[in-house]
Chains A and B, each alone.
Chain A
Amino acid sequence: MIEFHNVSFIYPNGFKALDEINLKIREGDLLALVGENGSGKTTLIKHLNGLLKPTQGKVFIFGRDTKELTVAEVSRYVGIVFQNSDSQLFSETVEDEIAFGLRNFGFSEEDINLRINFALRLFELEIYRKKSPFLLSGGEKKRLCMACILAWDPRFIVLDEPTVGQDFLEKEKLIQMIDLLRRKGKGIVIASHDIEFLWKLQPKMVVMKNGRIIAYSSAEEIFSNSSILDQSNLIPPQLVELSKHLSTKAFQTIEQAKEWIKKRVNV
């Protein structure tokens, strides 16, 4: 479990980016952080592995204060994929990039090999094995960052804007993967502006504004609350918008919308 107790954070230039955050994240949770640009999502995420430490308040990871832990210690349990992939990649080849974390955590060479193969296959990066990470496309870099984290199988998986650069098929696969990870009991935190993706995921949503949490609820409740949407620069997904126009309960899938229309036509 990860716990935020009254966490505030002020950047060195004096900017207060988190303001009295209280939050519990458990294994098996699927949580989405949403909110306008600059609302504090990335800053919050950087507290999840101790990369940033609260100016006030405390963050506990499995009961231990992050102030007493190193980023390396925490990372074994909390894997983070950052918004900007370029800042996370540094190795000569794609396979070295994945191996780096694994070596740090002391996996055997044999195990490392198996895990690299698994991760490359999972994200369809096998053909780039010997390529420099810097020469990948934007979406490929993002997938490589995810592959690195999943290779060491952390208990919490944190993805800052995972759909950046991903096409529709990749997004579908990502949704399935997240689903599987959640069923395996992983705690998953995703920051995203991609509302159509979020609507398919149906996570619990944490809405941020000016460093505060202004709402914590199901996707359905958040996307049907016009005051929250307004305050946080969100717009409803197309299916929610459509069901509103048709005065019916929000369609979660296209199939549901199809069924609804079929019924209306038959009677």
Chain B
Amino acid sequence: MKIVEFSNFSFSYDNGNYILKDMNFYVEEGWCVLVAGKSGCGKSTLLRCINGLIPKYYKGRYEGEVLVDGVRVIDYSMSELSKKVGTLFQNPDHQLFMFSVEREIAFGLENLGLDPSDIKDRVEWALDFLNLKDLAKRAPYELSEGQKQRVALASILVMRPKIILLDEPTSLLDPKTSLQLVNLLRNLKEKLKVTLIIAEHKLELFSPIADRLLVVHDGSIKAYHRVKEVLKNPSISSYGVSLPPLAQLSLFIEGFKEPSLTIDEMMKELRRFFNDRVS
């Protein structure tokens, strides 16, 4: 089922240049889609078109349509849409406003009018999952940036949205926490069929869970395919998409069928490669 669909969609802020131009693509339910491209190419803008901030809060020229779960974004009320779509913003300050971490995480649930014991369970789960237990009573504005990011993420996860948009989610997280995030997202995807759309530069981290890589350049889609398929095309780096070091290396070795993204893949290919040469 198509859970998100852009058809003949264009957008420009305040009637300036088109940031997104005649976009046509869709996302199947349960997919994980990475969105990549140069800084300023429109990744955050694209996410805002899915969570409704465009056109509700950001005005401009809006043409064509964006469908979420079969319904046009403009036909949803913000509260209906935000039940379906959770967003982790690029700057966590934009979504934290309560006086304690635990209240922050509970806030959205309280608004939904959930049972207090259910709320408590979900908050506990999130605190545990994101390693926030020690910080539960602290004020979000007194945390480090990475800690804030984790709080923001917790408050989205407890809402259990069908679609989660993440705008450069690891830019503030330490490397191990970033890996944990990837594993957590893998779980959400596999167990709960959550659809994930992630603007991200670190492909080496997310490509293992990604079904598709969407490359945006000058407002239009330059590629939308399986990650390895996209990375095979050498011109992709001119769109600001980084080939992870192992992928770069594997493209150099003749006889590799596809670029390696993980160490395990690389070693397997290398072993085969050496064996072929030696025998």
Decide if A161 touches B39 in the complex (CB within 8 Å).
no
Residue in chain A with minimal CB distance to B237: A168
Interface size class of A (residues with CB under 8 A): 35 or more
Decide if A265 touches B277 in the complex (CB within 8 Å).
yes
Decide if B246 touches A242 in the complex (CB within 8 Å).
yes
CA distance A227 to B172 in the complex (A): 23
Contact of A166 among B138, B147, B201, B244 (CB under 8 A): B201
Q: What is the CB-to-nearest-CB distance from B218 to chain A, in angstroms, rounded to a whole number?
A: 13
Q: What is the CB-to-nearest-CB distance from B63 to chain A, in angstroms, rounded to a whole number?
A: 21
Contact of A38 among B43, B146, B237, B267 (CB under 8 A): B146
Please name all residues of chain B whose beta carbon is closer than 8 Å to the beta carbon of A92 when the two chains form the complex.
none
If A35-B174, A166-B201, A168-B201 touch, does A238 touch B237 (CB 8 Å cutoff)? no
Find residues 223-238 in chain B having any chain A CB closer than 8 Å to their own CB.
237
Decide if B172 touches A193 in the complex (CB within 8 Å).
yes
Interface: A264 (CB within 8 A): yes
Interface: A135 (CB within 8 A): yes
Contact mask for chain A residues 115-142; partner B; CB cutoff 8 A; 1 contact, 0 none: 0000000000000000000011111100
Interface: B176 (CB within 8 A): yes
CA distance A103 to B260 in the complex (A): 51
Interface: A93 (CB within 8 A): no
CA distance A260 to B252 in the complex (A): 13
Decide if A138 touches B90 in the complex (CB within 8 Å).
yes
Interface size class of B (residues with CB under 8 A): 35 or more
Interface: B177 (CB within 8 A): yes
Q: What number of A-B contacts does a CB cutoff of 8 Å give?
A: 141
CA distance A241 to B262 in the complex (A): 10
Contact mask for chain A residues 145-178; partner B; CB cutoff 8 A; 1 contact, 0 none: 0000000000000000101111111110000000
Please name all residues of chain A whose beta carbon is closer than 8 Å to the beta carbon of B171 when the two chains form the complex.
161, 163-165, 193
Residue in chain B with minimal CB distance to A139: B39
Decide if B175 touches A195 in the complex (CB within 8 Å).
yes
Residue in chain B with minimal CB distance to A196: B245
Contact of A238 among B37, B168, B176, B263 (CB under 8 A): B263
Q: What is the CB-to-nearest-CB distance from B28 to chain A, in angstroms, rounded to a whole number?
A: 27
Decide if A171 touches B242 in the complex (CB within 8 Å).
yes
Contact of A257 among B93, B173, B249, B277 (CB under 8 A): B249
If A137-B39, A137-B44, A167-B201 touch, does A241 touch B142 (CB 8 Å cutoff)? no
Find residues 248-267 in chain A having any chain B CB closer than 8 Å to their own CB.
254, 257-258, 261, 264-265
Interface: B13 (CB within 8 A): yes
CA distance A144 to B172 in the complex (A): 19
Please name all residues of chain A whose beta carbon is closer than 8 Å to the beta carbon of B138 when the two chains form the complex.
13
Q: What is the CB-to-nearest-CB distance from A33 to chain B, in angstroms, rounded to a whole number?
A: 12
Decide if A37 touches B174 in the complex (CB within 8 Å).
yes
Please name all residues of chain A whose beta carbon is closer than 8 Å to the beta carbon of B179 when the two chains form the complex.
235
Please name all residues of chain B whose beta carbon is closer than 8 Å to the beta carbon of A86 when the two chains form the complex.
91, 93
CA distance A244 to B171 in the complex (A): 27
Contact mask for chain B residues 87-124; partner A; CB cutoff 8 A; 1 contact, 0 none: 00011010000000000000000000000000000000
Decide if B40 touches A36 in the complex (CB within 8 Å).
no
Contact mask for chain B residues 247-276; partner A; CB cutoff 8 A; 1 contact, 0 none: 011001100000000010011001001100
CA distance A234 to B173 in the complex (A): 11
Decide if A166 touches B91 in the complex (CB within 8 Å).
no
Q: What is the CB-to-nearest-CB distance from B110 to chain A, in angstroms, rounded to a whole number?
A: 25
CA distance A15 to B13 in the complex (A): 43
Decide if A169 touches B168 in the complex (CB within 8 Å).
no
Please name all residues of chain A whose beta carbon is closer than 8 Å to the beta carbon of B277 when the two chains form the complex.
265
Q: What is the CB-to-nearest-CB distance from B250 to chain A, in angstroms, rounded to a whole number?
A: 10
Find residues 166-202 in chain A having any chain B CB closer than 8 Å to their own CB.
166-171, 193-196
Residue in chain A with minimal CB distance to B263: A241
Interface: B186 (CB within 8 A): no
CA distance A238 to B138 in the complex (A): 36
Interface: A11 (CB within 8 A): yes
Q: What is the CB-to-nearest-CB distance from A125 to chain B, in angstroms, rounded to a whole number?
A: 10
6 A/B residue pairs, CB under 8 Å, sorted by A: A161-B145, A166-B39, A193-B175, A195-B175, A241-B263, A242-B266
Report, nearest first, the 8 A-B pairs whose CB atoms are least far apart. Answer: A37-B146, A139-B39, A168-B242, A167-B240, A233-B176, A233-B174, A164-B171, A137-B40
Known: A167-B240, A235-B175, A235-B179. 10 other contacts (CB 8 A): A84-B91, A137-B39, A137-B44, A163-B171, A166-B39, A167-B38, A193-B175, A234-B174, A245-B267, A265-B277
